[in-house]
Amino acid sequence: MRFSQLYVPTLKETPAEAEVVSHKLLLRAGMIRKLTAGLYTYLPCALRVLKKIEAIVRSEMDRAGFQEVLLPVVQPGDLWKETGRWEHYGKELLRFKDRNDRDYCLGPTHEEVMTDLVRGEVRSYRQLPLRLYQLHTKFRDEIRPRFGLMRGREFIMKDGYSYDASVADAEKSYQLMHDAYHRIFMRLGLRFRAVEADTGSIGGNFSHEFMVLADAGEDTIAFCHNCQFAANVERAEVVEQEVLEGVVCPAAQAVPTPNAHTVEEIANLLQVPTTKVVKTMILTADGKNVAVLVRGDHEVNLIKVQRLLGAESVDLASPDVVEAATKAPVGFAGPCGLDLPIYADFALKGQNDYVTGGNAKDTHLMHVDLNRDAKITAYGDLRNITTQDPCPRCGGQISLAKGIEVGHIFMLGQKYSTAMHATFLNEEGVEKDMIMGCYGIGISRILAAAIEQNHDEHGIVFPPQIAPFNCILLNLDVVNPEVTAKVEEIYKLLCDMGVEVLLDDRDERAGVKFKDADLLGIPIQLVLGKKSLAKGIIEASDRQSKVKVELPIADFVKSYTDYQSQIWVNWSTQSSSL
């Protein structure tokens, strides 16, 4: 491919709308353009990367014994009504009607459609296991599409589904995917970690997420220094600590706290540590209001609240609800005298003498004993794990890191097969529901995640395994016929060798060419100009280390082949499952 003919509209300025590095660089490198919120067009360089990611995913899915199919993006609402998700999936499901007034949606995931396919064909245990997947477009009407490809509304996903006759077999399917995902992310050249995860709206028994470690990650993962424990903080259980103070708490007392809004401000004003301040949140769970208490230095975990309440959805209550419940403006909620079910994190148990909101404007209460002064409905694990908590498995030291979720595997059990009557006859001729698993990989999100993990001040540093081109050949003297003839010769040689080479044949200054080559993140730069031609060499450097080497023109095929394989090997040794 010649740069002069490549549609790669690079930008000099950093686009203002982009918040994260991958979004900025994808726009600047002319790889994507926004159509409207959460909808992006992939330009040639981006599509080349996506195809490479897909090829790696496809080869490992095939290797694991999964077969590729292609299901429609448009799905009938009736199937979603069978599983109850038509009501429960929420607004991310984009629904519409056809000309006959029938309900349809754009597929955000394909459990229903795949299970419909399977239930129509599978009759006997002999036809199981059945393991299928597709690489396709998904649509989710995300509430906050952002960060470019990281959280789009339309995106590319690999979704796989397994149907088994027994739990033991289903666990084998799950393990096949767990192992395949490890191979996939290693081959993609990424640093990643598999973590225990919540099952969310997909549901099911247990699941793992695969996280690319990067500061821009929207997820936080907790992992132990001593054992293999690693989990999304959404999921990581906190071990209850026995703390009994035995302090006699003076009578509760209202104190004025004007201009103190945050936990820190209140703690400062009242001269208490933040651990002695109680945060009270009014939440709406399936339409009912509840209060949740956590310690001032802790963060409430809505997924844990949801699980404790057995609710379909939990959200922060609207300001109207908070004002009606507390009879005060937002910001002064407290548990004393509150006429709502109150759930408290168990870190608050067994201690007393807290500061809480006073359910009145500019007022807090000091010396609150929760058991004496409030009516706690139940204590439970309702907060995020911290680095002060012990590992829930071994008691070891916990660390936290940011991650981007690029894959998610679920053991679904019989949730969908029971609802949709996906049954088979077992060896005894008894009708049973199939056991199901589902397995997603965010193909387009991987493109963004790879950039988040691999970039520098000059631009993208693509892992060679997924880079849009293997190398870029820069002609530094396009007006010089001798140089140009040699460059053309080398270009032809590289093409004949099967190397994906981008020839920068533009009549531009060297500086512009180097800048663009860096921005695009192509792993190898080859440079030929008057001086190097006179020396009989091509200057090569790799995008990551920038170390320069000289490849003799006379022995170019061998020296280039060795050089490229060295770059690949170097990168492979960096990709790891931490």
Structure tokens at 533: 């031609």
Task: Give me the least distance between CB of 158 and ligand ATP, in Å please.
Answer: 8
Task: Give me the least distance between CB of 408 and Mg ion, in Å please.
Answer: 4
**Residue number with CB closer to ligand ATP (170 or 447):** 447
**Per CB under 5 A, which region of 43-51, 210-218, 402-410, 558-566 contacts Mg ion?**
402-410
Nearest C-alpha neighbor of 472 from the set 405, 518, 426? 518
**Residue number with CB closer to ligand ATP (151 or 295):** 151
Q: Which among Mg ion, ligand ATP, none contacts residue 151 (Cβ within 5 to 8 A by kind)?
A: ligand ATP
Q: 10 Å Cβ neighbour count for 100?
A: 5
- Which burial class, exposed, middle or buried, applies to 346 when counting CB atoms under 10 A from its CB (0-12, 13-18, 19+)? middle
Q: Which among ligand ATP, Mg ion, none contacts residue 15 (Cβ within 5 to 8 A by kind)?
A: none
Question: Taking CA 37 as the corner, what is the angle to CA 32 and CA 38, rounded to the nearest 5 degrees?
Answer: 60
SS (H, E, C) 459-495: EECCCCCCCCCCEEEEECCCCCHHHHHHHHHHHHHHH
572 phi, psi to nearest 5 deg: -60, -35
Q: 155, 181, 185, 560: which one contacts ligand ATP (CB under 6 A)?
A: 155
Structure tokens at 166: 């027994």
Q: 408, 455, 486, 513: which one contacts Mg ion (CB under 5 A)?
A: 408
Site string (113-152) toward ligand ATP, x via CB under 6 A: ---------------------------x-x--------xx
Q: 31, 46, 157, 186: which one contacts ligand ATP (CB under 6 A)?
A: 157
**Per CB under 6 A, which region of 2-10, 67-75, 274-282, 400-408 contacts ligand ATP?**
400-408
Cα dist. 549→161, 518, 563 in Å?
48, 17, 9
**Residue number with CB closer to ligand ATP (145 or 189):** 145
Q: Which among Mg ion, ligand ATP, none contacts residue 155 (Cβ within 5 to 8 A by kind)?
A: ligand ATP
d(CA 255, CA 251): 13
Task: Give me the least distance between CB of 154 and ligand ATP, in Å please.
Answer: 8
Q: Which among ligand ATP, Mg ion, none contacts residue 61 (Cβ within 5 to 8 A by kind)?
A: none
Q: Check residue 503 for interaction with ligand ATP (CB under 6 A).
A: no
Task: Give me the least distance between CB of 576 and ligand ATP, in Å please.
Answer: 19
**Residue number with CB closer to ligand ATP (185 or 229):** 185
CA 331 to chain centre: 32
Cα dist. 11→50, 446, 521, 543 in Å?
21, 23, 15, 20
Nearest C-alpha neighbor of 277 from the set 289, 301, 260? 260
Task: Give me the least distance between CB of 138 and ligand ATP, in Å please.
Answer: 7
Q: Which among Mg ion, ligand ATP, none contacts residue 406 (Cβ within 5 to 8 A by kind)?
A: ligand ATP
- Which burial class, exposed, middle or buried, applies to 567 when counting CB atoms under 10 A from its CB (0-12, 13-18, 19+)? buried
Question: Which residues, 440 to 459, sit near ligand ATP by CB under 6 A?
Answer: 440, 442, 444-445
Tokens 């393991």 found at: 131
SS (H, E, C) 234-249: CCCCCCCCCCCCCCCC
**Residue number with CB closer to Mg ion (29 or 411):** 411
Number of residues that bind Mg ion (CB under 5 A): 1
**Residue number with CB closer to ligand ATP (140 or 543):** 140
Buried b (16+ CB within 10 A) or exposed e, 236-265: bebeeeeeeeeeebeebeebebeebeebee
Structure tokens at 217: 């990650």
- Beta bridge partners, 548, equal 541
Q: Where are the alpha helices (DSSP H) in 164-283?
A: 167-187, 263-270
Residue closest to Mg ion (Cβ): 408
**Per CB under 6 A, which region of 263-271, 296-304, 438-446, 467-475 contacts ligand ATP?**
438-446
- Please, are residues 85 and 420 in contact by the beta-carbon 8 Å criterion? no
Task: Give me the least distance between CB of 273 and Mg ion, in Å please.
Answer: 36
292 phi, psi to nearest 5 deg: -125, 135
Site string (196-235) toward ligand ATP, x via CB under 6 A: ----x-x---------------------------------
Task: Give me the least distance between CB of 207 and Mg ion, in Å please.
Answer: 8
Residue closest to ligand ATP (Cβ): 442
Q: Which among Mg ion, ligand ATP, none contacts residue 504 (Cβ within 5 to 8 A by kind)?
A: none
Cα dist. 340→104, 332, 363, 376, 537 in Å?
39, 15, 20, 10, 79
Number of residues that bind ligand ATP (CB under 6 A): 17
Task: Give me the least distance between CB of 142 and ligand ATP, in Å please.
Answer: 5
For 317, the 3-state DSSP assignment is coil
Structure tokens at 388: 């002060």
Q: 22, 75, 83, 109: which one contacts ligand ATP (CB under 6 A)?
A: 109
Q: Check residue 119 for interaction with Mg ion (CB under 5 A).
A: no
Q: Which among Mg ion, ligand ATP, none contacts residue 380 (Cβ within 5 to 8 A by kind)?
A: none
Q: Where are the alpha helices (DSSP H) in 120-201?
A: 167-187
Task: Give me the least distance between CB of 573 and ligand ATP, in Å please.
Answer: 25
Task: Give me the least distance between CB of 344 and Mg ion, in Å please.
Answer: 29
- Please, are residues 83 and 416 in contact by the beta-carbon 8 Å criterion? yes
Residues that bind ligand ATP (CB under 6 A): 109, 140, 142, 151-152, 155, 157, 200, 202, 405-408, 440, 442, 444-445
Residues that bind Mg ion (CB under 5 A): 408
